[in-house]
Structure 1
Amino acid sequence: YGCNNFCTYCIVPYVRGRERSRSMSEVVQDVKTVLSEGYKEITLLGQNVDSYGNDLADGTNFASLLREIDKIEGKYRVRFMTSHPKDFNKDVVDVIASSTHICHNIHLPIQSGSDSILKRMNRKYTSSQYLDIVNYIRSKMPDVGITSDVMIGFPGETEEDFQRTMDLVGKVKYSNAFTFVYSPRKGTPAAAMEQIPAEVKKSRITRLVKLQNDITKSLSNEYIGGIYEVLVEDVNPKYIGTVCGRTDSGRLVTMPGTPDLIGSFVSVKITKSRSASLFGEIV
């Protein structure tokens, strides 16, 4: 709960207070309880999961929590969000890479590819430090799906700053990214800064969205012909007689199937892709 980071655009620390960690035993017991009720996927949520345990006196951290949860027997998956690049570390990557149940799917918000904008945001990392993290993740998990949050139009963002963001997005090649335009939050430092004109923001977000869509489409095509384990989550109302679910790396897959498949793991051969979505047949 809460946050200690005080990014200049964010109101969370002011309304939710400081970070507070639940005990490891409490979290592990919650996971066991949910799994005993038949659920197949757990998502660990935190404003900054990588700060987990900083306020505990027993040396617990996020890597040790993941390691303990992974020991629980059964067929299930674990995802988590959200990570902060300044706190995300190699220990967490190593635990995920060697685990049985932790998904190879990491949401790692960059916000901006410009160091000067990151500094104005009070993010406490640089673009090169971020890329170092990404490179380490990929070295340990080549099949990983990395997603991100990317903000444009932050106060003071120049065309050069924006281009650095575009360059970083092109280098990382996110599976998907939540792209959005900065808007002031009353009571935050950034709200008092000189704002970027709306027409400039509109132009930049259009260019960024196109770039990310092109990347997502290209990465989706690479799945065609492969066979992946999918956890069926629901029927797909867009296509009669189909169900949908996600791969370990977080990709949405639609396939022919009936509602009784919901909650089961199936192997799916990908036959086609459409932007961020994949389509296949159960094998």
Structure 2
Amino acid sequence: MTKKLYIKTYGCQMNVYDSERMADVLAPLGYGLSDRPDDADLVILNTCHIREKAAEKVYSDLGRLKAPQQEKSETGGRMIIAVAGCVAQAEGDEIMARAPQVDMVFGPQTYHRLPEMISKAKRAAGEKILDTDFPAEDKFDHLPEERVRKGEVTSFLTIQEGCDKFCTFCVVPYTRGAEFSRPATTVLQEARRLVADGVREVTLLGQNVNAYHGEGADGREWGLGRLCRELAEIDGLERIRYTTSHPRDVDDALIAAHGEVEKLMPYLHLPVQSGSDRILDAMNRKHTADEYRRIVDRLRAARPDLALTSDFIVGYPGESDQDFADTLKLVTDIGYAGAFSFKYSERPGTPAASMREQVDETVKSERLIALQQLLDSQQEAFNASMVGKTLPVLLEKPGRHEDQLVGRSPFLQPVHLNIPVSRHAAMIGTVIDCEITGLSGHSLFAAPPGDAGPLSENSASHRPNSGQERISA
């Protein structure tokens, strides 16, 4: 009999990938995914530790699981509750103390050991399992082949994990460990399997994805630029993306790849965090605002249609009005197609948490509103500039209306098109040129060649600023 598995994913794309791989690990044990936790046999909360609210939400969700866990026990069943991911890595002992209903806690580097953890939990009911050590073995060597979910034409592909940058606000080096790059041959093999299963676009993932330095087929170290060139040679793979990158790791080879590899999409997430050199230095970013500007100039020289997104933190300890003004100036100078912006929140164990001159919450809120107004206006202008253009759109799935398909532009914007339902199966996974005829919110509406026109603008819109978090970099 199939056992029910419920996984809730918090945070970044890396966690989305990890949750999918956990499901792959558990499938041979008879676990099938459920969309609700109430009657699940195994509940996994795959957590994020980037911000305080994200961590506290985990404890709230654990509290809500008490009742269904008790109900299942009273009917002779058992619900195993597990906390995974970065909160588990950072606060394993505290989770066990605060949430006695939790059976297992394990970090992001140990989920390949899930079968043995579950077996142990079942053998010794009541025994708590804590596995947050950084294992000597490479977890990717012990994971089954990634399965493509039915009908999916896009997929994440982790190529790098961990971080050696030690930004003073960030917990990633402590929860994900040191930088590690998968061998290029392994990445290419996995990409070929994905394409064979119908995937047409891969997004390469890493905490610092452009710090990639995996061993290539020739025995030499490959950077991200070389890896993208090799991926582009795979027949059937139409698009390549990557996230999240760090300005310090944008090298000549990667810039050249942006100008020369057609399949590498002209859309780059390049976090800067602040426009103030004083704050960048306090953050241990090891680059200045002008160095960031020069990197952007070189990328745009190589690929003039390149669209940029970024991450920003306001209210970092000691941030003055002038520091914030410098951030607004950088945003004005660069011009972004989208961004993720947040108020600084203290993360236990990071250097910034103990810094003096913590900024007042009211000031943080005022600055965040001002920054987001500027970023939103830039995003709106960028989206509006698409109207009247013809863009290649990768068709991904049916829309809300019967005769509608939804795809993505090269710039990751959702695009809605009128396509007769009888043609959906044949067209999903293809790239077609579409004239952009209008927009609503952050969604574009288009007509493929020969089509009568778009649906009305009452379809769902998408706002990247309120969506899933990026991987911190």
Question: Common fold, TM-score beyond 0.5?
Answer: yes
Give the percent of matched residue pairs that are identical in Structure 1 and Structure 2.
37
SS in 1 for 2:253: helix
1:108 aligns with 2:270: yes
What does residue 50 of structure 1 align with?
210
| Pairs aligned (count) | 282
The question of whether the paired residues in 2 share the 8 Å contact of 1:10 and 1:188 is answered with yes
What does residue 268 of structure 1 align with?
434
In the alignment, structure 1 segments of 5+ residues that lack a partner are none
What does residue 122 of structure 1 align with?
284
Distance in 2, matches of 1:168 and 1:24, equals 36
What does residue 277 of structure 1 align with?
443
Residue by residue over 1:70-112, the C-alpha shift from the partner in whole angstroms, topping out at 9 and shown as x without a partner, is 1222351111111100111232021122113211111100100
Pair member with larger Rg: 2
Residue by residue over 1:198-251, the C-alpha shift from the partner in whole angstroms, topping out at 9 and shown as x without a partner, is 1001101111111111111111221111111101122333x6643222111222
The question of whether the paired residues in 1 share the 8 Å contact of 2:184 and 2:222 is answered with yes
What does residue 175 of structure 1 align with?
337
Correspondence list, 1:147-158, <5 A? 147-158=309-320
Give the AA of the match of 1:253: V
Residue 240 to residue 200, structure 1, CA distance change in 2 (3 Å): farther
Out of 92-101 and 204-213, give the one that drifted further. Answer: 92-101
1:29 aligns with 2:192: no
The question of whether the paired residues in 1 share the 8 Å contact of 2:258 and 2:299 is answered with no
Residue 269 to residue 66, structure 1, CA distance change in 2 (3 Å): same
TM-score by length of 1: 0.94
Give the alignment's Cα RMSD to 1 decimal: 1.7
What does residue 366 of structure 2 align with?
203
The question of whether the paired residues in 1 share the 8 Å contact of 2:413 and 2:444 is answered with yes
The question of whether the paired residues in 2 share the 8 Å contact of 1:220 and 1:274 is answered with no
Give the AA of the match of 2:376: N
Runs of 4+ in structure 1 over 6 Å off:
54-57
Deviation at 1:281, TM superposition (A): 1.1
Residue 282 to residue 55, structure 1, CA distance change in 2 (3 Å): closer
User: Among residues 143, 151, 154, which one is paired with 2:305 in the alignment?
Assistant: 143
Residue by residue over 1:33-64, the C-alpha shift from the partner in whole angstroms, topping out at 9 and shown as x without a partner, is 11111111111101111211179972321121
What does residue 13 of structure 1 align with?
173
The question of whether the paired residues in 2 share the 8 Å contact of 1:20 and 1:55 is answered with no
SS in 1 for 2:181: coil
1:192 aligns with 2:358: no
SS in 2 for 1:86: helix
Distance in 2, matches of 1:60 and 1:40, equals 23
Out of 69-78 and 98-107, give the one that drifted further. Answer: 69-78
The question of whether the paired residues in 2 share the 8 Å contact of 1:232 and 1:265 is answered with yes
Distance in 2, matches of 1:24 and 1:75, equals 16
SS in 1 for 2:162: coil
The question of whether the paired residues in 2 share the 8 Å contact of 1:67 and 1:99 is answered with yes
1:230 aligns with 2:230: no
Distance in 1, matches of 2:405 and 2:268, equals 24
Larger relative contact order (CA 8 Å, sep ≥ 6): 1
What does residue 260 of structure 2 align with?
98
Give the AA of the match of 2:209: V
TM-score by length of 2: 0.57
Distance in 1, matches of 2:266 and 2:434, equals 18
In the alignment, structure 2 segments of 5+ residues that lack a partner are 1-160, 450-473
Out of 71-80 and 252-261, give the one that drifted further. Answer: 252-261
Residue by residue over 1:129-186, the C-alpha shift from the partner in whole angstroms, topping out at 9 and shown as x without a partner, is 0000111111111111211111111111111111111111111111111111111111
SS in 1 for 2:180: coil
SS in 2 for 1:201: helix
